[in-house]
Structures are given as structure tokens and as C-alpha cells.
A = this chain, B = another copy of it.
């Protein structure tokens, strides 16, 4: 072997693609490499083509999402944390709608499927902690409840980002999560309080 790929170039292209996505500029093979000094063939050596680039961009989206969820952290109130994770998920999607769209596009062939699982795992952990603290019933299926929470977050994010629902519809998450967590065994008033505390749609970092 004689010449090695430069990981910086790879990262640059991914970042640039995500940036052009946020800027709503059309991301074509030629426009992507324009001004970067690298030639069009770089996309083929690093990603095998445009579809490979999109795969990498999807991957990057999940990586950034995982980072956003990781930043939520844990408190003594796992139900609040669960709502906070949902809020972070939705806020991330809202701040980067085009990247979010690409993430769930064209099947689901990621380079590293574990990145998507990491998203779910943060929720599973919070549910497990809620069970340990007695907030949720012991025979709650943690993975199942986490998936259901994900469904709510993704459903709202998708319907808002794609247009059918206005941004205010994100507020529906509060009664929905309350109903879900109450069914899981939490006391209704307590669940509502925790969720309201956790559901803060603050400004998520815009990836560009």
C-alpha cells in the first residue's frame, strides 16, 4: 500500500454536505466538491459514489443526534429525563429538518446500525431507571416503552417537518407522554409534573 486516504477530507465532505443541506443548496457531486480543492473522484474513493455519501450523511445525523441526547444527562427524576430526551430529539429534528429528512430516507442502510440503536438506548436506560425508582411498574417492557416514546417523538417531528402539522403540534407530546407513562404505572399528576419539567424545546444546536 502506498497512498492512504485522508480522514479529514472525508469528514470535510460530510460536514459540507450537511451544511449545504441546512442552507437548502442543492447537493450535487460537482457543487459538493466545488471550492474544496478536491476533485469529483474523491467522492468515489471515499464513499463509492453519491449514494455512499448520503449513507455517510445519515450516519453523521445519527451521531449528532446521539450527542444531543447524551447532553441531556440524568437527574433524580427519570420520568423528567425521559421527557427531556424526547424534547431533545424533537428539538434536534426541528433545528435540522433537512438532515432529519435525509436520516430517514431511502431505506435504512447505515454504515454502523449501532448509531441508531444508541438513540433508542438512551430512552431504554431512562425507562429502566424509572422502573428501578418505582415510577413505572416492574413488568413494563423497557424496550417497548422506549420504542413507543420514540414513535411519538418521530411521529410529531415527521409530521411537522414534512408540513401537515404546524410547529405548535409539538405540544401534543406532553399529553401523549403523560398518557403513556401513566399507563406504565406512574401517578398521573406526578407524571404530568415531571414531563412538563423535562419537556423544554430549547434551541438545539443547528448543524451547519
Q: CB < 8 Å: which of B158, B165, B172, B175 contacts A183? A: B175
> Which of A5-13, A38-46, A63-71, A142-150 sits within the interface?
A142-150
Give the complex CA separation of A172 and B151 in angstroms.
9
Give the complex CA separation of A169 and B145 in angstroms.
11
Q: Judging by beta carbons under 8 Å apart, are A104 and B180 in contact? A: no
Contact flag A148-B172 (CB < 8 Å), given A104-B158, A179-B183, A182-B183? yes
Interface size band for A: 20 to 34
Q: Which residues of B contact A37 (CB under 8 A)?
A: none
Q: Which residues of B contact A150 (CB under 8 A)?
A: 155, 159
Q: Does A176 contact B (CB under 8 A)?
A: yes
Q: Which residues of B contact A176 (CB under 8 A)?
A: 148, 151-152, 180
Q: CB < 8 Å: which of B147, B158, B172 contacts A158? A: B158
Q: Does A107 contact B (CB under 8 A)?
A: yes
Q: Does A116 contact B (CB under 8 A)?
A: yes
Interface residues of A in 89-134 (CB under 8 A from B): 104-105, 107-109, 116
Q: Judging by beta carbons under 8 Å apart, are A108 and B180 in contact? A: no
Chain A interface (Cβ within 8 Å of chain B)?
A: 104-105, 107-109, 116, 144, 147-148, 150-156, 158-159, 162-165, 169, 172, 175-176, 178-180, 182-183, 188
A to B CB contacts below 8 Å, 23 in the list:
A104-B158, A108-B162, A109-B163, A147-B169, A147-B172, A148-B175, A150-B159, A151-B156, A151-B159, A151-B172, A152-B152, A152-B155, A152-B176, A154-B155, A154-B158, A154-B159, A155-B156, A158-B158, A176-B180, A179-B180, A179-B182, A180-B180, A182-B182
